[in-house]
């Protein structure tokens, strides 16, 4: 990610369009078929695990379903491609009020930043899992369509936390990595209400996502032994 450029103009619009597609199209297609909504990161984008003999992916500015593909344009068109009823009853995590003519067109440069951020986060989370001890019991990383973040949880019961990467949201407008302890903590490391965040800008300046995760993990473990909580 250090070679990446500043965020493209209109990045937020593309991020929000992809999040809408993740919830109302890709996640909804899997949920309506098998009752599960979790997604995964793939090279160049994101998509479903295999379900009902299908995989629905978003790569760049296009939806893919096997050999079929269609460029993203409107929510209704994307739903039609994926075979999702726009009026289907969905759980709150997937429901998002938007009309079928809502644009979900994306800028390919901005979509590439989202995909590269997820992929870098995937690698960091995999390394975090590899460094975990038996007591940490890390969960499998999953892309949650409602928050549009790739995350897992890890740690012994008294220092368990969510570790993940987000492409940005209404709170932090740029991509960021985060450590969200189940129990609120105090200390210089914890720079957000939900825990700690490392931003895209900081990564471009040389910070490492894996180092950030490992630091959070270490601080949490130290706090359980009576040492400084960081």
The answer to whether position 82 is within a domain reads yes
Both 137 and 82 in a single domain?
Answer: no
User: What are the residues whose beta carbons fall under 8 Å from the beta carbon of 135, sequence distance 6 or more?
Assistant: 156
Is position 196 within any domain?
Answer: yes
* Exposed/middle/buried for residue 156 (C-beta within 10 Å: 0-12, 13-18, 19+): middle
Please, where are the H alpha helices in the chain?
11-21, 28-34, 75-82, 108-131, 200-204, 209-223
- The CA distances from residue 187 to 149, 193, 199, 214, 220, in Å, are 25, 12, 18, 16, 11
Give 46's strand partners.
41, 58
Report pLDDT for 225. Answer: 57
Q: H helices within 36-187, ranges in order?
A: 75-82, 108-131
Whole-number Å distance between alpha carbons of 85 and 185: 44
Total domains, the chain: 2
Among 53, 75, 108, identify where a domain stops: 108
Q: How far is CA 211 from the centre of its chain?
A: 19
Q: What's the chain's length in residues?
A: 230
Compute the distance between CA of residue 88 and CA of residue 74 in angstroms, rounded to an integer. Answer: 17
Question: Does residue 181 share a domain with residue 151?
Answer: yes
The pLDDT tens digits along the chain (230 residues) read: 545 678 999 999 999 999 999 999 999 999 999 999 999 999 999 999 999 999 999 999 999 999 999 999 999 999 999 999 988 889 988 988 889 999 999 999 999 999 999 999 999 999 999 999 999 999 999 999 999 999 999 999 999 999 999 999 999 999 999 999 999 999 999 999 999 999 999 999 999 999 999 999 999 998 765 544 45
> Domain span at residue 206?
110-223
Domain boundary among 108, 126, 152: 108
For residue 26, is it within any domain? yes
99 and 28 both lie in a single domain: yes
Q: What is the pLDDT of residue 125?
A: 98
CA angle 200, 166, 181 (to 5 degrees): 105
In this structure, are 146 and 101 located in the same domain? no
Q: Nearest Cα to 152, choosing from 46, 41, 67?
A: 41
CA distance 147 to 167: 10
* Residue 135 belongs to some domain of the structure: yes
Choose the final residue of a domain: 108, 137, 169.
108
């Amino acid at each position: 990610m250090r070679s990446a450029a500043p965020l493209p103009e209109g990045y937020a619009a593309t991020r929000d369009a992809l999040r809408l597609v993740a919830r109302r199209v890709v996640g909804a297609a899997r949920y309506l078929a098998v009752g599960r909504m979790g997604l995964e990161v793939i090279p160049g984008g994101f998509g479903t695990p295999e379900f009902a003999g299908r995989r629905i992916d978003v790569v760049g500015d296009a939806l893919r379903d096997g050999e079929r593909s269609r460029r993203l344009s409107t929510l209704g068109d994307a739903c039609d491609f994926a075979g999702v009823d726009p009026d289907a009853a969905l759980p709150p995590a997937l429901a998002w009020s938007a009309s079928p003519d809502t644009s979900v067109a994306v800028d390919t440069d901005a979509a590439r930043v989202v995909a590269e951020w997820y992929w870098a986060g995937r690698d960091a989370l995999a390394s975090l899992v590899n460094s975990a001890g038996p007591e940490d019991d890390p969960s499998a990383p999953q892309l949650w369509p409602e928050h549009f973040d790739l995350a897992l949880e890890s740690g012994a019961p008294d220092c368990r936390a969510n570790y993940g990467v987000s492409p940005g949201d209404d709170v932090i407008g740029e991509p960021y990595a985060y450590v969200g302890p189940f129990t609120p903590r105090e200390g210089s490391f914890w720079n957000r209400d939900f825990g700690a965040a490392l931003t895209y800008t900081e990564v471009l300046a040389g910070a490492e996502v894996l180092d950030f995760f490992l630091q959070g993990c270490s601080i949490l473990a130290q706090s359980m032994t009576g040492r400084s909580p960081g």
